[in-house]
Amino acid sequence: MPCKILDNLGYQSKVVDNGHEAVDFVKTNFVDLVILNMIMEPSISGIETYRLIKKVNPNQKAIITNGYFESEDVMMAQGLGAGSFLKKLYMILDIGISVKEELEK
């Protein structure tokens, strides 16, 4: 769903199926921003995905999403440099503002 929203806002987006694919994608493609879900079962978690992405690109910008609440993993990801936290179900305005703010940092 974030891809459709981002596309409608004029951004180019790409979705991958799991954390391992996200890391592989970042290894071979420049990415302005990643949007990570904290829970990506049965794959690696969002925090582990972000840790691995940061090894590939230490300056990688990210936004964190979760369907529940701002967990310890969210705070750890933000400690690694991730930007805002969006609780699902977010509105187009929420994601638009978060993406714009993170890209402008």
Q: How far apart (Å, rounded) are the C-alpha atoms in residues 41 and 11?
A: 27
The residue among 84, 82, 81 whose CA lies nearest residue 101 is 84
Position 7 scores a pLDDT of 81
Reported as a pLDDT band with limits 50, 70 and 90, residue 91 is low
Q: For residues 99 and 93, which has the higher predicted lDDT (pLDDT)? A: 99
Question: Are 27 and 16 in contact, with CB atoms under 8 Å apart?
Answer: no
Q: pLDDT grade, residue 1 (50/70/90)?
A: low
Instruction: List pLDDT tens digits, range 15-74.
Output: 888 999 999 999 999 999 998 887 667 778 888 898 999 999 999 999 888 765 556 776
CA 23 to CA 52: how far, in whole Å? 7
| Token pair in block for residue 40 | 């990506």
